[in-house]
Amino acid sequence: MSGLHEKGVAELGRALAAREVSSAELTTHLLARIDSQAPLGCFLHVDGEGAMAAAQAADARRAAGEASPLLGVPVAHKDIFVTRGMPTTAGSKILARYQSPFDATVVARLEAAGTVSLGKLNCDEFAMGSGNENSAFGAVKNPWDATRVPGGSSGGSAAAVAARLVPAATGTDTGGSIRQPASFTGTTGIKPTYGVCSRYGMIAFASSLDQAGPLARSAEDCALLLSAMSGFDERDATSAERPPQDFHAQMLLPRAGATAARPLQGLRIGLPTEFFPDNLGADVNAAVRAALAELEKLGATLVDVSLPRTELSIPVYYIIAPAEASSNLSRFDGVKFGHRAQQHGDLLDMYKRTRAEGFGAEVKRRIMIGTYVLSHGYYDAYYLQAQKLRRMIADDFQRCFQGCDVIAGPVAPSVAWKHGEQGDDPVKAYLADIFTLPASLAGLPGMSLPAGFGEHHMPVGLQLIGNYFAEGQLLHTAHAFQQATDWHRRSPT
């Protein structure tokens, strides 16, 4: 029992199928571990009673002959997904004590696949942040070094997986919020192509960018989860009309001409010059270069490419995302749900006081920026120009993919920073997203996988970016790398 928390999703699925452990035993073990690691701040709500009931139901289904790789496997959800029976806050005081009458599509699909939900995970308020320090309910600590951030906004999800509290968790990625925390915590995370996972029931930050995805130990684990999470949803107008995908099977498909010893034979990996600037941390550069050398040993060919508008992705993102946030967050006014100011005058005063009390500093900052760029006289100068540049950034990727199959590079310019280090300089935190923003703006799939360690023995992630709907190729590349290395198996003390 003591080593159960070290197993990933695929391993646990096989153990459950072989009757080596029951879901009830596994759930009991993990609930005790979550309780013992409460100081990390990963969980905002633990549903012990509901989890045990779901685990017993999963055991009964297996006893009746049902077989599924996820049946009885515990997971937890980022608190940006609405859930019945559990509070949903999006890390914000303005939604404290709110409970949804329905489940998000991603939550419902994982439940249908048989997963056992242990609870809700901490996140930056409305998914706005790069360090998980913006939650109204306290910051999350990095399990590798509690003085450092786990990344954001899915920091609670990444930290919970890294600390072996859950084998996998859901997250969302708007500008890198799955990939960056995965890099900072030594976990594996994938943001699929925009539209692959339904946004129904996912509290919106920036609707044209938000996308759900899994964080887990390995590419194989992510493939199993993504297969269950994804698929067309008629309730989401941005959902891609594609048949269900078996990403696990796609991950295992051999490349033409490849051998067991060189499974990536023929794969062309593009290295954008702009992803390796002079100010890239030497420790990050060394780890990423070593990972790229390993991919070469597996048969891949490295080619130089260029994404000339990489630096422009920062101003483009921080115009478009706040603009969409200012619109989406206008619904939180204290009238229908969530926090309402106790002391107020007329209706307008109630709006003002509710929002002043309920929103944190970073959310207020982005609402004000977004409202400004959408205002009369500034829309054409800022928002419209940003959308034009966004199209150009997407076109740059398509030119790259004419000469390569996958793009690779670092996830972030440095390893995780210390808590409070960037609190007085939000722009510094924004700049840390420079390598993840381009793929988000283009709507492309991207993932982070553990690639070694940098300064202070902190994890470093390798980023892989694919063309539209090339999740299977990304997962295949990551799986081959993880078959040859053990970085994804390392865990914090």
Residues designated catalytic = 78, 153, 177
CA distances to 43, 75, 102, 215, 253 from 160, rounded to whole Å, are 8, 10, 25, 10, 31
Residue type, 167: P
CB 240 within 8 A of CB 218: no
Closest CA relative to residue 459, chosen from 193, 161, 166: 161
Mapping DSSP onto H, E and C, the string for the chain reads CCCHHHCCHHHHHHHHHCCCCCHHHHHHHHHHHHHHCHHHCCEEEECHHHHHHHHHHHHHHHHCCCCCCCCCCEEEEECCECCCCCECCCCCHHHCCCECCCCCHHHHHHHHCCCEEEEEECCCHHHCCCCCCCCCCCCCCECCECCECCCCCCHHHHHHHHCCCCCEEEEEECCCCCHHHHHHHCCEEEECCCCCCCCCCECCCCCCCCEEEEEECCHHHHHHHHHHHCCCCCCCCCCCCCCCCCHHHHHHCCCCCCCCCCCCCCCEEEEEHHHCCCCCCHHHHHHHHHHHHHHHHCCCEEEEECCCCCCCHHHHHHHHHHHHHHHHHHHCCCCCCCCCCCCCCCHHHHHHHHHHHHCCHHHHHHHHHHHHHHCCCCHHHHHHHHHHHHHHHHHHHHHHCCCCCEEEEECCCCCCCECCCCCCCHHHHHHCCCCCHHHHHHCCCEEEEEEEECHHHCEEEEEEECCCCCHHHHHHHHHHHHHHCCHHHCCCC
CA distances to 31, 112, 137, 166 from 45, rounded to whole Å, are 12, 21, 11, 14
**Residues forming a β-bridge with 170:** 214
How far apart CA 358 and CA 411 sit, in angstroms, is 32
Tokens of 176: 């890198």
